[in-house]
């Protein structure tokens, strides 16, 4: 697990292409995020003009001077080798999904399966975008899917463009980590 002592505390934002990972990191990072975007060559998967092929990077500095690193992964499965590099040792993972996408539930399964083994704490938060649009699945469907797999994780309807909503996800992740630490200390 990333630790305070080794100077590495990272939170990973992941999810399929077009879910809002780059936007979410930009919404909460205190510095202009480093992005590795190129023209989107997979217009079937998503019609957006550009997409991340390497990583997004942002930062939050606490009053103590300690730093939280925010990493965004590429969304396309062909860059999966980057998922392992970025996810390994993360303090927690935030999966962003588009609730209007066909197969969003399967996408959630894929990203949860890919990242949870890399995150020792198992701290997971799901951010669900575009839930108010026609045809969108509600958060209950995603929570029930996780529950059927024995995973109790928050699933929040959010707008990744709103920093308030992205802070809600990060803050919830911090609360989960704190509660886990309390429970482990009590065990």
Partner 1 sequence: MQTLRICDIGLSIDASLAFHSMLKIVSGRSVASWQTSDADHADVLLVHVNSNPGALSAWTSSGKPAVLVIDDRASWPPAPFVLRYPFRVMQLLSLLDSIAEHLRSRSTRVPSDGAAWAGAVSLRHLMAQTGDRGWHIAHAGDRSFLWVGDGQAHGLPATLRGLREGSVTLGAFSAATERPPAAAQACALRDVAWWVGAHGPAELAPWLRPDAAYRVHRWPDFGRLGAVPHLIELAAEASARAHLPAELANRAGCTPGDAHRFLAAASLAGLLTSFTRAEVLEHPKAATPARGAWTRFVADLRRHLLRVA
Binding site for partner 1 (CB under 8 A): 3-5, 9, 60, 62-64, 66, 68, 127-128, 131, 139-140, 143-144, 147, 152-158, 163-165, 167-168, 170-172, 174-187
80-87 helix and 104-115 helix, angle to the nearest 10 degrees = 50
Do 107 and 15 meet the contact criterion of CB atoms below 8 Å apart?
yes
User: Cβ closer to partner 1: 48 or 164?
Assistant: 164
Q: CA-CA distance, 65 to 60, in Å (whole number)? A: 10
**Helix, strand, or coil (residue 16):** coil
Name the minimum Å distance from CB 77 to partner 1.
Answer: 27
Q: Which run of H or of E encompasses 51?
A: strand 50-61
Q: CA-CA distance, 180 to 182, in Å (whole number)? A: 5
**Burial level of 103, CB count in 10 A (0-12/13-18/19+)?**
exposed
User: Cβ closer to partner 1: 53 or 176?
Assistant: 176
Name the minimum Å distance from CB 15 to partner 1.
Answer: 15
User: Cβ closer to partner 1: 119 or 143?
Assistant: 143
User: Cβ closer to partner 1: 17 or 160?
Assistant: 160
CA nearest to 115, candidates 147, 144, 73? 73
Name the minimum Å distance from CB 79 to partner 1.
Answer: 28
Name the minimum Å distance from CB 97 to partner 1.
Answer: 12
User: Cβ closer to partner 1: 53 or 165?
Assistant: 165
Name the minimum Å distance from CB 88 to partner 1.
Answer: 18
Tokens matching residue 36: 């590795």
């Amino acid at each position: 697990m990333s630790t305070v002592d080794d100077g590495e505390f990272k939170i990973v934002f992941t999810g399929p292409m077009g879910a809002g990972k780059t936007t979410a990191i930009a919404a909460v990072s205190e510095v202009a995020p480093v992005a590795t975007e190129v023209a989107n060559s997979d217009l079937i998967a998503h019609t957006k003009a550009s997409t991340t092929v390497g990583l997004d990077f942002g930062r939050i500095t606490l009053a103590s001077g300690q730093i939280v690193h925010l990493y965004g992964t590429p969304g396309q499965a062909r860059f999966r080798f980057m998922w392992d590099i970025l996810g390994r040792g993360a303090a927690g993972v935030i999966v962003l999904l588009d609730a209007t996408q066909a197969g969003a539930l399967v996408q959630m399964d894929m990203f949860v399966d890919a990242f949870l083994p890399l995150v020792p704490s198992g701290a997971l938060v799901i951010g669900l975008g575009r839930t108010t649009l026609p045809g969108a699945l509600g958060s209950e469907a995603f929570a029930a899917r996780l529950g059927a797999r024995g995973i109790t994780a928050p699933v929040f309807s959010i707008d990744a463009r709103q920093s308030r909503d992205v802070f809600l996800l990060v803050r919830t992740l911090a609360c989960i980590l704190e509660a886990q630490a309390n429970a482990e200390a009590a065990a």
